[in-house]
Amino acid sequence: MNLPRQPGIPHPRLPLPEGQPEDLAAFQQWLSEAIPMVSALGINEVSRQDDSLTWQLALSPNLNDKGTGFGGALTAQTTLQGWCWLTLWLRERGIARDVVVAEASQRFLAPVTSDYRLVCTPALPEGPAQLANKLAERGKGRIALIQQLYCGEKLCLEANGSYAVLPSR
């Protein structure tokens, strides 16, 4: 049985995948325990391919008073997805480190009117390699990520974030 989270007490890390592909269902379950609001965000499916992380989400738990996507929920999702992208990238390399969002911004382009997908990728193709170099040289680093929210083929929201890998303690 999982005990409720307590302020000021870190949640235990998920063991690294040890040379195996990441079990995204297990990661999502751990994430829901580590960050309680995750279970209310309507994440139906998580997938990774190359340098992208894609979530399929239900609109119903994220509705606003107008019957469209609530900007605060969508913003939380984009910020969390960037954190997950970087955390999974590190885990794939056998690195267990703390990740934080340093900056984030969103641009709302159209109302979100149906279930949707959120895709996170590096802002620059060379971003992951540059981050790997910084981690090797300095033990910390940052990467810029972009999250794009689509209803069908329509781009409804674009977010940008800078995520930092903190030095080991």
Q: Are 150 and 156 in contact (CB under 8 A)?
A: yes
Domains annotated on the chain, with CATH: 24-165 (3.10.129.10)
**Mean confidence (pLDDT) of the chain:** 95
Per-residue model confidence as pLDDT tens digits over 25-59: 999 999 999 999 999 999 999 999 999 999 999 99
Indicate the DSSP class of residue 123.
Answer: S
Which residues have a Cβ under 8 Å from the Cβ of 155 and sit 6 or more positions away?
109, 110, 148, 149
**Pairing of the two strands 43-49 and 116-122:** unpaired
What predicted TM-score, i.e. pTM, was given to this entire model?
0.95
Per-residue model confidence as pLDDT tens digits over 75-117: 999 999 999 999 999 999 999 999 999 999 999 999 999 999 9
